[in-house]
Each structure stands twice: as structure tokens, then as C-alpha cells.
Amino acid sequence: MAKILVERSGPVTSIIMNRPEVRNALDNEAIELLGDAFREFEGDDDARVAVLAGVDGSFCAGADLKEISKGANYVAWAGSHNGTLRTPLSKPLIAAVEGHACAGGLGLSLFCDLRVVDKTAVFGVFSRRWGVPMSDGTTVRLPRLIGMSNALDMLLTGRAIGAEEALQMGLANYVVAEGKARVEAENLGRRVAEFPQIATCSDRQSAYAQLDLSLDDALLEEARLAQAAKEQEAQTGAARFTQGAGRHGSFERERAT
């Protein structure tokens, strides 16, 4: 049985972790297969948005501790040179979280741009109990996302964070009904995919790039990244606006090409 499944529906690619017997914990083979799925999505010009989900009511329980206990080489998912979670993708990635997103599963959710969670979602650094450190980007991405105080609370106590608390601290973007995380994440993905893509992706790229730049350099990079959209999308978009599209805050729109 494949450890990573890929399903495509128009511009949305769903990448699904498929190890239900261990709450979708990832062994070394599975994390490499996940990287392959990400690269395939990146290389598909027809794929605009990806959704990352797990089967059987769980997102991901992190690294496979049984494999680690047998002495397997535990490669850092983010900090190694070719780590699966090292560099953000070039196109939007949305996490659909049901059940546990703990330890490395938390890191996987943080690698995504947005997190759609159902009411059963639970985030936590549960590996704190076993002395397994975070090497999946969590200690870097979590403080940047929810602030140092909230991040240290999670990292030091290992306590469980439910869906509503995750929403309050900015760890979750949307809370949906039980069992609906993937469906709603895919719906969100289709809405994002309908926007003109050059500007969507350049704005996203600028938001990530500014983390490592001074204010002046970040503003210059924003202008550089925006140039292609200005040349290829902005004029036609402005023309649609003058013809009545999108007036009064409406987001009803024709599919962008």
C-alpha cells in the first residue's frame, strides 16, 4: 500500500499521507516519497495549489519512533541539505488537519502556507516526552507564526493545543466541522487557484523573502517580484475592473488564465 497518495482535481493536487496504522507517522521512506510528491506538484504547470492531508482522521503523528528506536538514521526534515521541509514550495500549499498534528506532524503543518483544521485537530510537541528533538523546522517556523511566548509554551510544556486555541493564537486559519478539513481545504485551494497566478505567487514569495531581509531590501525585492505581474496581468485585470468585475468588494470572478 502506497505510503503517500496523490490525487488531482483540476488545478488542485491533494497529497495524502497514508500510514493509518501509525496515525500517518512518517518513516524515512515516506518522507522521501512526500518530497517526491512535492517536486512533482512543483513541476506540473497545470497544478496551482496543493493540499496536504492524512487518512483515517489523523494528519500526522510525526516521525516513526519505532524506526528510530531500531537505530535508523533520522535525517533532519528541514535542516539537512536536501530536506523535504527545507525550502517553501513555489506555489501555495494548504494543510488539512484532522486529529493529531504532533511533533513532526506539527512541523509539516507549519511548512504549509495555511492550515484548515476540523474540530478534532490537536497540535503539540508530544515528542517532548521521549527526548526526541524537533528538526523539522518547528523551532524556527513556530515562533515566526505565533510569537515567541506561545511557541515556547508549546515547545517547553509539550501540551496539546485544540482547534479553537490554535485559531486564537494564529496556528490555525480556519476551523471547520469534524471530518470536513480536506474538503474545505480543497475548496479553499480552488478559490486561490482562480486568481491570476503571477501576482498571487509573487506576493506569496515576497512575504517569505522579507523574513531574511532588511526593510529597504525587502521593499526592493517586492518591487522586483511584482514586475512580471504588472507587465502580464495588471493591465488586463484593471480593464476587467473598469468593466464592472469585482465592484463593491465582490470576489465573484471568472477563472483566471
The number of domains in the chain is: 2
214 and 172 both lie in a single domain: no
Q: What is the pLDDT of residue 246?
A: 55
Return all residues near 152 (Cβ < 8 A) that are at least 6 apart.
143
Q: What is the pLDDT of residue 255?
A: 42
Give the sign of the dihedral formed by CA 203, CA 151, CA 139, CA 43: negative
Q: What is the pLDDT of residue 256?
A: 39
Q: What is the pLDDT of residue 248?
A: 47
- Of 170, 193, 216, the position where a domain reaches its end is 193
29 and 96 both lie in a single domain: yes
188 and 207 both lie in a single domain: no
Q: What is the pLDDT of residue 257?
A: 34
User: Which grid coordinates are listed for 181?
Assistant: 478539513
Which structural domain, as residue segments, surrounds residue 70?
Answer: 4-193
58 and 165 both lie in a single domain: yes
Q: What is the pLDDT of residue 238?
A: 46
**What are the residue ranges in the chain where pLDDT is below 50?**
238-239, 248, 253-257
Q: What is the pLDDT of residue 245?
A: 55
120 and 212 both lie in a single domain: no
- Find the CATH number of the domain harbouring 106: 3.90.226.10
Partners of 52 in the β-ladder: 15, 95
